[in-house]
Amino acid sequence: MQVQKAPNDNWWRGGVIYQIYPRSFADSNGDGIGDLPGITAHLDYVASLGVDGIWLSPFFKSPMKDFGYDISDYCAVDPMFGTLADFKALVDRAHALGLKVMIDQVLSHCADQHPWFVESRSSRDNPKADWFIWADAKEDGNPPNNWLSIFGGSAWQWDTRRCQYFMHNFLTSQPDLNFHNPEVQSALLETVKFWLDLGVDGYRLDTVNFYVHDAQLRDNPPRGRPVTEDPAVNAVNPYGWQWHKYDKSQPENLEFLRKLRTLLDQYPNTTMVGEIGDDDGLARLAEYTRGGDKLHMAYCFDLLGSEHSSSFLHKFLSRFQSISEGGWPCWALSNHDVPRYATRWGGATPDAALLKLSAAMQTSLRGSSCIYQGDELGLPEVAIAFEDLQDPYGITMWPEFKGRDGCRTPMPWVSSAPDLGFAPAGKAAGKPWLPVAEAHRALSVDAQDASPDSLLQFYRHLLHWRKTQPAILHGDMQLLAAHPQVFAFVRANDAQRVLCVFNFSDQPAHFVLPAECNVAQVLTDSGLTGAALSGGNVELVPWGGLFAQLT
C-alpha cells in the first residue's frame, strides 16, 4: 500500500540554514562545554540574522571520542548537553521564533560502546553478528583489502573476540554498520522516526554516501599521492591516494536513501541535507538529489577548499549545471570539518570586503545555503597548540595537519569577558573545552552589534533583503560569460530578473552591464546601497559587487 505523502511547503528550497556546533556555541552552566540550554538562550540572536532554520551537530549520548559523531544511543541526549526536556524546549523556542530545527544524524557508523556493537563483537553467531562489517584475515594475517580510514591507517581493526577484522571509515572506535542487512536499515529508520515524532523539521545526514560498501570487499584502485599547493588538500593523508571505488558511494546506497525519503515524506514540511565526501562530489550531489525521491539537498566539498577565483567559480558552477538534472545543492563555505573560510579565502588578515562579497555570492546561487556559526562574524581560523588539541584527527596527523579544532573554538559573544561570554557572567568557572581566541575578541557579537558597518550587520541586511527577492529565492540561474576577474550570473523567474555580479579579485574590474539594467544594490562597507544604473560599463572596486534588476 502506498503511503500518503504529507504536505511540504518547501521552506528549505532557497532557504538559509545556520549550523550550530553545540560544544562551542554557548555554555549555560559554566562547565566549559556548550549545551542545549545555552543554544536556546541565544536563539533570538540566530533569528535576528534572517535565517530560516538551524542545524544542530550531534548532541546524542556518546563516549565523545569524536565529539558526538560516535553515537552510543541514537535516541538519548548526552548528559553533558542536557536532557530530552531541554531539547524539546529548544525546539519549541525555535519554532516560536519561526526557525526550523534540523539535527545531525550519523547513520553510517556508531560508537563501539553502542549495545549493537557490543553484542555483535561477542561472537560470530549472536543475533547481531552481521550488523557490522566483519571479515576474515588473509592467509598472511593482513586485513581483507586495502581500504583506508580517513583518520589514518587501515580501515580494518582486528578484534580478538571474533578473531576477525571489523571495518571503520573513521576511528577504530567507530565501527561501520552493515547496510546490506535489512534489519540494520530498519533499526536506523526507527531512530530517525523517533526525532521526527518529537517535532524536528529535518536532518543533516553525516557521510551520506558512506552507508553501503562493496559486498565483495574489492580493493580500491591506486590514485597516487596528490601533487598540490592547496593547503586545504590534505596530501599527507594516504586516504587521498586511492580512488574510492568500492568502500563507499555504492549503487545500493540509493535504495536506502529512497527509504529515508519515504519516511520523511510522511511528516509535513521536513527536509534532508546530505554531506557528500566523494572523488566526484558534484556528480554524487546531483545523483543523490535529483528525481524527488532521495535527498532534498546535499553539499560537497568543492567550495570548502582554498580556491575562489572567478574562473574557478565559473567552471565549477558550469559543470554542476550541466550534470545536475534538477538536483538541489546546499552551498556551504565553512563547517565544523574545515578551516574557516575567512582564513582559507582571505589569508592571515582577511579583507572584510571579501567576506561580504563571498556571503553575497553564496546566498544568491541557485540552491540553499548553510552558514557555520561565527562566519557571520568573520572569525578566522585559530592556531591551537599541540597540548590543547582535542581532535583525534589532528593529533594523529600532527604537525603537517592540525585537525579541526581551529574552527571549533568557543563562539565570542562578549568582547570584555575573559571567556568572551561563552558562559553567562558569574558561571564561567570551568575552562572552555577549547581555548578562546584573542583574535576573536574584537569580532565578538556585542562589538559588531554596536557597529553599523560590521560584517554581522551586513549579513543581517543581506539575508533580510534576500527574502524580498523572489528570483534569488526560487529562480533559475544563467551563468554569464567567463571573465578573468568577475563572476556573474542572472537569477530569474516569472516575477523578476536579477543580475548578480562579483569581483573576486583584489584589483578594480571593468564589467559591461546589460542595457536593461535599471536599479542596483551595490555592495559597500555599510551593506547594500541603492544606485541608479543606465547600462554601459561599471567599475567594480576590489572585492566589490552588485545586484541589478533587469527589465
Asked if residue 504 lies in contact with residue 486, where contact means CB atoms within 8 angstroms, the answer is yes
pLDDT, position 300 = 96
Asked if residue 405 lies in contact with residue 394, where contact means CB atoms within 8 angstroms, the answer is yes
Going by C-alpha positions, the residue among 455, 493, 450 that lies closest to residue 471 is 493
Query: What is the Cα–Cα distance from 179 to 199, expressed in whole angstroms?
Result: 27
Query: What is the Cα–Cα distance from 331 to 501, expressed in whole angstroms?
Result: 18
CATH 1.10.3720.10 fits 475-550, yes or no: no
Catalytic-role residue among 206, 247, 381, 419? 206
pLDDT, position 430 = 81
Give the angle 522-527-528 at the CA atoms, nearest 5°: 35
Active site residue 206: yes
Same topology between domain 16-112+181-464 and domain 475-550? no
437: DSSP letter: P
pLDDT, position 426 = 83
Asked if residue 56 lies in contact with residue 73, where contact means CB atoms within 8 angstroms, the answer is no
Asked if residue 257 lies in contact with residue 278, where contact means CB atoms within 8 angstroms, the answer is no
Residue labelled with grid coordinates 599527507: 236
Start-to-end CA distance of the chain, whole Å, equals: 50
Distances (CA, A) of 162 to 123, 137, 216: 6, 11, 20
Query: What is the Cα–Cα distance from 261 to 202, expressed in whole angstroms?
Result: 11
Active site residue 325: no
Listed by start position, the domains of the chain span 16-112+181-464, 475-550
Query: What is the Cα–Cα distance from 158 to 166, expressed in whole angstroms?
Result: 7
CATH superfamily of 16-112+181-464: Glycosidases (3.20.20.80)
User: pLDDT digit of tens for each residue in the chain (551 aa)?
Assistant: 567 899 999 999 999 999 999 999 999 999 999 999 999 999 999 999 999 999 999 999 999 999 999 999 999 999 999 999 999 999 999 999 999 999 999 999 999 999 999 999 999 999 999 999 999 999 999 999 999 999 999 999 999 999 999 999 999 999 999 999 999 999 999 999 999 999 999 999 999 999 999 999 999 999 998 876 655 566 789 999 999 999 999 999 999 999 999 999 999 999 999 999 999 999 999 999 999 999 999 999 999 999 999 999 999 999 999 999 999 999 999 999 999 999 999 999 999 999 999 999 999 999 999 999 999 999 999 999 999 999 999 999 999 999 999 999 999 999 999 999 999 988 877 899 999 999 999 999 999 999 999 999 999 999 999 999 999 999 999 999 999 999 999 999 999 999 999 999 999 999 988 888 877 887 776 676 776 666 678 889 999 999 999 98
Q: Where are the alpha helices (DSSP H) in 20-145?
A: 22-25, 36-41, 43-48, 84-96, 115-120
The answer, as to whether pTM is greater than 0.85, is yes
Catalytic-role residue among 275, 302, 375, 376? 275
